[in-house]
Structure 1
Amino acid sequence: MDRAQKITIAVSAMVVAGLMVLAAPPVMDAAGWAAARLASVGAEPAASPSPSEGGTLDGTEPGTAAEELVSVGNGTSIPAGGPGDCDEAAWIHMGEMNAWLYGELADQGVREFAAGEAGLDEEGRVVTYTVAPGDALYAISDRFCIANPHAIDTLNHTRMIQPGDVLLLRPNKALPWIPYFSPPHAPAGYQQIPYQNAVEAMSAAAQAGDIAAMRRIFEDDLAALFPNPDHANVVARALELDRLDVLRHMFA
């Protein structure tokens, strides 16, 4: 996927968003997996720096081809248009404790290596994707016009997609999302493998709808691995309230 190799990334400061949702009465339908995934943010990411502020990976000088780049928020610029046959590209952003989608997912149809089923919300928008045997990440990203394919597996807390996995493609910015590779503000030398293993276990239990197992994993393995206790408290609050919808988003 040549377009993905051209992507320019400029890292900007992120703030924790959506954490207050747990302190309020439930605002989402908790009637199962689909309901947990169908909420949409309803707002675009904040304005971001102009694409001309940074260079490009293919050697283009800043500002020489601004019309060929488009800002997708969070200080990130990508080539105009989209991957494959897409007219425009979508981009998955991941912040300190939240994630969101820039642009719109456009299903280009079943194809080789992306033959699974798209899950839609009530407005007909793509929200999830069920992995079929033989599927490949880059083909899935091309099918849905996602310009950063490896954000899909990171967003879904997995090193490798498997047949039957239900992948979140449209994260809800208003809900917390737990980072996969290391927690926010991890100190130098942080041992991320125990954290990552615990997050994967939480993800599997969330998909199974087993909140009791999630409580055990959190208390025994995960809670103490957050450098910031406030972040651990977000998970604890969702467990306390039995908010499976939020937990499934946190540990997609």
Structure 2
Amino acid sequence: MSRTAKFSSIMTALALAAIGITGCTATPSAAPEKSETSPATTPVAEASPTQAAEPVADASPTPEPTEPDPCPRMSEFYSSTGGLYWERRGTLRDLGAREFAQGEVTFDADGNPVTYTVASGDVEAVIAERLCAYPNLGSMNHVRMIQPGQVLWLTPDPSIPWLSSFAVDDAPEGFQQLPYEQAFEAAGDAVDAGDVDAVREIWNDTLKGMFVNQETIDAVQQVVDSGDLDALRQLFS
């Protein structure tokens, strides 16, 4: 073989080898483009018009049932005219004996408390609580401090005048406080003893001259002259 033919054969073989190498090389494929779609969301089911909504539980606690107040309104000893004629406003009720209010209660035909007999150890404010009354039972019964065995009258007659055992309305200058209190207490003791004559004497000789209001003097004089012990008790005892 000539040198030229031999060189041509070598070149042809090299060309074929180059083609084979190129055909065996893998061409990398293009990476898929990243989707720009929004993140997936959970679809919300729409309520059917005929589908009832589920009830929502109330988280607030259920209030405990409360018992009615046995004394919705406290009764009170009240003067509608400013001094001479007093009455009870509101209804008394006996809620039963308790510590510091163990005394006996009497009632009228309608079941309303009329009197209370003070027991040993009783406290006026607790007695008033038992009877649904403001604690002025002592003052309306002309005493500073209640005593065991004392009978407290609970409801005054509004047609009978009521006097204070401590002072005189419109007291004049130089009013004798202590003699007035002593005479008033003596009149109350006479009423409790049923001694009407003694009551009249104390009023006419001592107490009457200490008052200056003629309306008060006339009203008290009428009761004293009547000799009615229940009316006299409201005045002095």
The one of 100, 112, 137 equivalent to 1:125 is: 112
Residue 155 of structure 1: aligned partner: 140
Residue 137 of structure 1: aligned partner: 124
Q: SS in structure 2 opposite 1:139?
A: helix
The one of 84, 97, 115 equivalent to 2:102 is: 115
**Pairing 1:101–2:88 present:** yes
* Higher relative contact order, structure no. (Cα contacts within 8 Å, ≥ 6 residues apart): 1
Bigger mean CA offset, 241-250 vs 134-143: 241-250
What does the per-residue CA deviation read over 1:83-121, in whole Å, with 9 as the maximum and x for residues that have no partner?
A: xx5332111124411211111111110111111111211
- Whole-angstrom CA distance in 2 between matches of 1:104 and 1:190: 37
- Whole-angstrom CA distance in 2 between matches of 1:141 and 1:189: 36
Shift of 1:232: 2.3
Residue 243 of structure 1: aligned partner: 228
Shift of 1:195: 1.7
- Gaps of at least 5 residues in structure 2 are 1-67
Bigger mean CA offset, 199-208 vs 152-161: 199-208
After TM superposition, list the pairs within 5 Å mapping 1:57-72 onto structure 2.
Answer: none
Shift of 1:152: 1.3
Q: SS in structure 2 opposite 1:220?
A: helix
After TM superposition, list the pairs within 5 Å mapping 1:70-109 onto structure 2.
Answer: 86-94=71-79, 95-109=82-96
Q: SS in structure 2 opposite 1:118?
A: strand
- Gaps of at least 5 residues in structure 1 are 1-80
- Whole-angstrom CA distance in 2 between matches of 1:172 and 1:99: 8
Shift of 1:189: 4.9
- The structure number with the bigger radius of gyration is 2
Residue 208 of structure 1: aligned partner: 193
Consecutive aligned runs of 4 or more in structure 1 exceeding 4 Å deviation: none
Query: Is the Cα contact below 8 Å between 2:175 and 2:210 reproduced in 1?
Result: no
Q: Tell me the TM-score normalized by structure 1.
A: 0.61
Query: Is the Cα contact below 8 Å between 2:141 and 2:234 reproduced in 1?
Result: no
Q: Tell me the TM-score normalized by structure 2.
A: 0.65
Residue 72 of structure 1: aligned partner: none
What does the per-residue CA deviation read over 1:171-209, in whole Å, with 9 as the maximum and x for residues that have no partner?
A: 121221112221222135533222222222212221221
Q: SS in structure 1 opposite 2:127?
A: helix
Shift of 1:229: 3.4
**Kindly, what percent of the aligned residue pairs are identical?**
40
Residue 212 of structure 2 aligns to which amino acid in structure 1?
A: P
After TM superposition, list the pairs within 5 Å mapping 1:168-207 onto structure 2.
Answer: 168-207=153-192
Q: How many residues align?
A: 168
Q: SS in structure 1 opposite 2:169?
A: coil
Query: Is the Cα contact below 8 Å between 1:186 and 1:227 reproduced in 2?
Result: yes
Query: Is the Cα contact below 8 Å between 1:96 and 1:179 reproduced in 2?
Result: no
- Whole-angstrom CA distance in 2 between matches of 1:230 and 1:91: 25
